[in-house]
Amino acid sequence: MTGPEIAGPEVVGQEAAGTEIAVSPAIDADDRERLLSGTHHDPHAVLGAHPVSGGVAFRAYRPHARAVTVVSGALRAELHDDGDGFFSGLLPLAEVPVYRLLVTYDATVHETEDAYRFLPALGELDLHLIGEGRHEQLWQVLGARVLTHQGVTGTRFSVWAPNALGVRVAGGFNFWDAAGFPMRSLGSSGVWELFVPGIGEGELYKYEITRPDGTRTLRADPLARRTEVPPATSSIVDASHHEWGDTDWMAHRGDTPVHEAPFSVYEVHLASWRPGLTYRQLAEQLPAYVRELGFTHVELMPVAEHPFGGSWGYQVTGFYAPTARLGTPDDFKYLVDRLHQAGIGVLMDWVPAHFPRDEWALAEFDGRPLYEHHDPLRAAHPDWGTLEFDFGRREVRNFLVANAVYWCEEFHIDGLRVDAVASMLYLDYSREAGQWSPNRFGGRENLDAVAFLQEMNATVYRRCPGVVTVAEESTAWDGVTRPTHHKGPSGFGGLGFGLKWNMGWMHDSLEYMSHEPVHRAYHHHEMTFSMVYAYSENYVLPISHDEVVHGKRSLVSKMPGDWWQQRANHRAYLGFMWAHPGKQLLFMGQEFAQGAEWSEAHGPDWWLLDPAYGAAADHRGVRDLVRDLNGLYRTTPALWQRDTDPAGFQWVTGDEADDNVLAFLRLDAEGDPLLAVFNLSPVVRHDYRLGVPEDVPSWREVLNTDAAGYGGGDVTNPDGAKSEPQPWHGRAASVRLTLPPLAAVWLRPA
């Protein structure tokens, strides 16, 4: 390029100013020291191009450069080397031009835009909302975002670090030397920002933060939307190119409220369902498998990035990034898209209760407690060695609320199963006396966590029609699924969840089933007690991963007796679970009676279904039962339409403890019934009389878990049962049935 050559600021001053005294363009000692030490809060005020007396001062900080030249049209001006990587020059210009920098290193010359000529790429409204803790699309303003700014394409980096003395960006694009890329602090918001031109998707980066004590720490981006594959920890600049094909699903998923719709969930640990498969490979297999078995939804664990696979995704470091172990964020979108196109809803495990202490992640992010509570006793999670979020800090609450919205809006997630809610709700959770302080009313409730959960639920339901939130909450907290604006007896508004895991039902019923039948008479209440509180919340009946690990044994292995009896108990239990009021959730491997505990290292024992395996028929029979349970469930409104309405359930008999028998009716909105009968003893009970509604003249058997095709003894009622005018169980009519051993029988009006 040709043009005037300007050798130094003193020449420029004489030419431009005449009698006017020109200023020195060099950076003063104080700014210079702050830039060198990484503690400058406003590098744009001194670097870049600035009108000054005598022209325009150009200043650049390019460590390791041998020369820096300003290029603007025909102008080509080499700046003075001020030492330590600083370059400056005063050009006789009336206004700041559009310019580029030509940076010479030992072995290369690099032409680039100057990052310090750009205005902030964040607006005042965004900063105001961040300050208020109300930015519901926080991921669009914080993190790394590829965009065109002032006509130039690059990446805007922005991070919340209010305690930092300075923040700089390090990455592959600057050979992980952050010195020349200081960010500016945007007022009192605590947000630091830098637009780096020419940087695009795929670049690795972290933030170098100078802490209040002057030391530095290199941190992954809390709002990174993509990460390296663990154990590597860098964030990656990402831009989505996925084109969704689930328009019809998204338009209609909210047509029927979830608690009035069929909802049976297959829980999947993605990394081990078929070990080695990527998101895109899973998309070719998982939707077909789940659809064949008839589940309405899958629940995926883990999704958000986590450093240790053995945590199953419950110690998250990348709250905005799908785990890179299985592919890119767009690959994960492809999996969700394919599930939706197969008619399958997608829930994901979401973990806002705590985060790990990894020194490159959120813990003391900017040198002081930031995401965690400032009180060490409140911050330390007593069970998992992790840190609890400070739910009372508005920016932290915003980080989490926006994260819930993010997964639903950006990834079309249909539901969030919120982990460890009880640990959030109670100040004394797993803490001894003296290890916790009561709230301002003297109680043990964590008022900040309550307010956060209410805000999260209200925001998600307002912004994302058709999405359901599900609480894994193990106590009797009042109003988990009550609307937030309705106060209960405790004086609290509801938490606003759509559904709640019924941990009481799970514990009681599994305890009953683990007993030898001869002892079950003494534990009969464990199968019936759940109906005392069945309508206190909107419930999901969970047999999750937590119940089939750490010595708890798989579902079939919890059952007593020999292999035949274990399978019979397993099948009967599934029949009970699908008939009981509430939605269903079953963890992978339990649908075909895997005998071994689940291990994330190798996943389900698919070989049990191999026709070459001698006992494959036993396992295939259980899987066929699950398929038929789901098929009948979907087509029988009595089993789901009034799950939260006591009028949808009637006991036939709940006190036949000596017989190990119980029976009940499920009723749909029109009053059409399904009769569910359970014989949990190992003997056939002939001509067993049960009271039934007198307006049903005859019944036909629609499911029998003892059927030969499921691996049972084929003790069935092929001719159904005719109603007789003999009063029984407080009803005017009754039927006589043959009850197979260790089995569930469903009947509908013939």
Active-site residues, by number, are: 419, 472
What residue type is 564 in one-letter code? W
Integer distance in angstroms from the first to the last C-alpha of the chain?
91
At 689, give phi and psi (nearest 5°).
Answer: -90, 135
Note whether 106 and 115 are within 8 A (CB): no
**Furthest-apart CA atoms within the chain: distance in Å:** 119
And the tokens for 437? Answer: 């302080």
Q: Any bridge partners for residue 299, and if so which? A: 267, 347
Note whether 701 and 693 are within 8 A (CB): no
Measured from the Cβ of residue 87, the count of other Cβ atoms closer than 10 Å reads: 25
What residue type is 553 in one-letter code? R
Closest CA to 593 of 647, 637, 548, 527: 548
Strands (E), 493-549: 499-501, 539-543
CB neighbour list of residue 691: distance below 8 Å, 6 or more residues apart: 652, 653, 727, 728, 729, 730, 731, 733, 734
Note whether 425 and 452 are within 8 A (CB): no
Closest CA to 414 of 246, 290, 541, 578: 246
Q: Which residue has the tokens 């009021």?
A: 581
And the tokens for 48? Answer: 């870049």
Region for 448 from its dihedrals, namely left if φ exceeds 0, alpha if ψ lies in -120 to 50, beta otherwise: alpha
Closest CA to 39 of 226, 228, 182: 182
Query: CA-CA distance, 476 to 422, in Å (whole number)?
Result: 10
Query: CA-CA distance, 487 to 473, in Å (whole number)?
Result: 19
